Amino acid sequence: MIQICIIGSGNVAQHLIKAFSKSEKAEIVQVFSRKKESLTHLVDSDKIVTDLSDLKKADLYIISITDDAISEISKQLPFENQLVVHTSGTSSIDFLDSKNRKGVFYPLQTFSKAKPVDFSIIPICLEAENEADYHILETIAKSISNVVFPISSEQRKALHVSAVFVNNFTNHLYQMGQKICEEHNVPFEILKPLIFETAEKIKTLTPVEAQTGPAKRNDSITIEAHLNYLTDENQKNIYKLLTQSIQNNGKTL
């Protein structure tokens, strides 16, 4: 069993705790949290520490905290030459202090504490400084997921930016659609089959092939009608920007 200490208590940390608790290859020996009560529903209280100096010896230390704090926390770790990784999508492996062996264990998914996830289908992106450490990361990654990739820090930057477009920005557009529906007493539920089908098509079509709508068809009458209908200037600007982007993309194909 690979012994793991998890440093952090946020969304990613809590989902990792749940996933590793079911793994036959990994054992969580300790968890660090500023507030002990934030993890007592997942971990026995005697395994939770609030002081980094109380961390036990383990095979792997996973820092799962905000990006801004990774560098400072890694400097405060009270040991040297241990395998320490972070779970950030944007931070380089070099954010970690060089007194320890460094790596990255990045699960590419949107996490909310209250929403269960199936970790077996979540891609886990790995990076390590040497083959032996990569093998440790690969072993525990494959114990919770069937989708594991070697991804460098530079590749991870591109991946994370792409994820913001396909996830965070898309979800914000859902919010806009919901607001428009609510303002006109239309149930947002009516749009859900369309949302699901759009996502489903990506399994068999490229995004370019799946693109439909008035911008794709250059349907200027419909586009003008939509712009005249919208009263929110922010919604209008986003509609214009995305319409122009879709049309420009069509010109370059």
CATH number where 81 lies: 3.40.50.720
What CA–CA distance (Å, rounded) separates 41 from 57? Answer: 24
Look at residue 113 in the predicted model and tell me its pLDDT.
76
CB distance 238 to 176 below 8 Å:
yes
What pLDDT does 251 receive? 67
Full domain range(s) for residue 194: 156-252
Determine the Cα–Cα distance for residues 209 and 121; give it in Å rounded to an integer: 25
pLDDT in tens, 82-113: 999 999 999 999 999 999 999 999 999 988 87
- 14/100 same-domain check: yes
What are the tens digits of pLDDT across the range 188-240? Answer: 999 999 999 999 999 999 999 999 999 999 999 999 999 999 999 999 999 99
Picking from 123, 151, 179, the residue at the C-terminal end of a domain is 151
Regarding whether 192 and 227 lie in a shared domain, the answer is yes
- Residue 15's Cβ-count burial label (10 Å; 0-12, 13-18, 19+) is buried
